[in-house]
Amino acid sequence: MTRLAPQLLRPAILGLLTSLALPVCAQTTEPAKHTLVQQGEYLARAGDCTSCHTAQQGQPFAGGFRLDTPFGYLLSPNITPDQQTGIGSWSADDLYRTLHDGVNKHGQYLFPAMPYTSYTKVTRADSDAIYAYLMSLPAVTNAVEVNHLSFPFNVRLSMLGWNELYFDKGTYQADPKQSDSWNRGAYLVEGLGHCSECHSPRNLLGGIEQSKAFSGAEIDGWFALNLTDGLKTGLGKWSVAEIATYLKTGADKGKSTSLGPMAEVVHNSLSFMTDSDLQAMAEYLKALPASSRMSQDYKPDTSLKTGATLYVDNCSGCHQAQGNGMPGVFPPLAGNGVVLAEDPNDILKVVLFGVPVQDGYIAMPSFGHLSDQQIADLANYVRNSWGNQASANATASQVANLRKMPVE
């Protein structure tokens, strides 16, 4: 974004002009059994198009979903085949140009809230399948004024300079040194899956800091976790099978559960993907080299007695004295990526708002009755116990700010 900040980059597709889908490469699963429209539907489900192109109480794909930025806000466009207010007049060439070149039907530059920097990797065949599906949808008349950014950020031509710096156009090219499965995973993760768009920190101009790609970033008040092979905060202790299970269900009984926007992605998107595609994505993610922005000069906070008392009184009955949890009932806190994230927002929001029932795990109630300082102390204790070595950087002011946010 310009800084169309990380809060716009949801793990679901955040398309400004179209938010389409995790592509099914040239090797579509059982291609003989699927029509072009069915292939496109799979891609649209995989990409979670409806979440970003459906306003609250709105018609699916009819746009109007609000994306707030530090420079104003954007509304996602109508991508139903309505001739006047949707994309009914678009051709397959128009859609491919949007994905591949980052411009709309009229040749106008897109804003990077639409992650065309990743979508450019999609093949023409997959773009055509998505187009066929979108054209099969019921047309909905819903005029949307997309651009509500402040000057000069509302000027699309300003994206020309941004693209020169951060847009490397080109379809994904398979690495002949890697397996077919690895290449399939790379295509899904790096392309329309655009995982790095949410899980990577950005500079002041909104460009991804490539040296820290996949190492985690703040988004919508949550922290999108480190997806590299780091042992402390990444996927170093996860197997490929565990990663695939997490993508499919949003939970791994021995590791963690999905929260916030990621839970939405699992529910609306990843849970519809084939096991082979999820396995390929997991294989590729597992191969990412370890990276973390957590300080290497870790120094534990020695003033955590208050948090320890709060943990014993409020948490130990379920998560156990040593943070081990109960497999399939209460998730562990020791070694949990949510707990270890560089930014403590995730664990703070869990304590504040609770977590619903997920994949067999019992719902966690809200502990919002605790004071802001107590919640911060509790989070810092959990982040520094049972071998956890995260920064004790949760503060009462952070909790106070999170209380003001709408519950998702």
Query: Residue ranges for the binding site for heme c?
Result: 49, 52-53, 195, 198-199, 315, 318-319
33 CB-near residues (< 8 Å, 6+ apart):
none
Rounded CA separation 101/116 (Å): 7
32: number of Cβ within 10 Å: 5
d(CA 396, CA 390): 17
SS3 89: coil
Q: How far apart are the first and last CA of the chain?
A: 23
Q: Is 214 left (phi over 0), alpha (psi -120 to 50) or beta?
A: left
Residues ≥6 apart with Cβ < 8 Å to 122: 23, 99, 100, 171, 172, 191, 192
User: Which residues partner with 147 through β-bridges?
Assistant: 74
Q: Locate 209 and state its tokens.
A: 């800091």
* CA nearest to 280, candidates 1, 28, 20: 28
In our burial notation (b when 16+ CB lie closer than 10 A, e otherwise), range 202-232 reads beeebbbeeebbbbbbbbbbbbbbbbbbbeb
Pairing state between β 222-224 and 66-69 = unpaired
Give the CA count within 13 Å in the CB-facing half-sphere of 262. 28
Q: Could you tell me which residues come within 8 angstroms of residue 139 by beta carbon, excluding any fewer than 6 positions away?
A: 80, 81, 82, 83, 86, 88
Q: In what order do the strands lie in the sheet with 72-75?
A: 66-69, 72-75, 147-149
CA–CA distances in Å: residue 164 to residues 158, 159, 169:
11, 9, 10
Q: What residue has token string 């999108």?
A: 224
Q: List the binding residues.
A: 49, 52-53, 195, 198-199, 315, 318-319
Q: How many CB atoms lie within 10 A of CB 255?
A: 21
Decide: 237 and 252 in contact? Cβ < 8 Å.
no
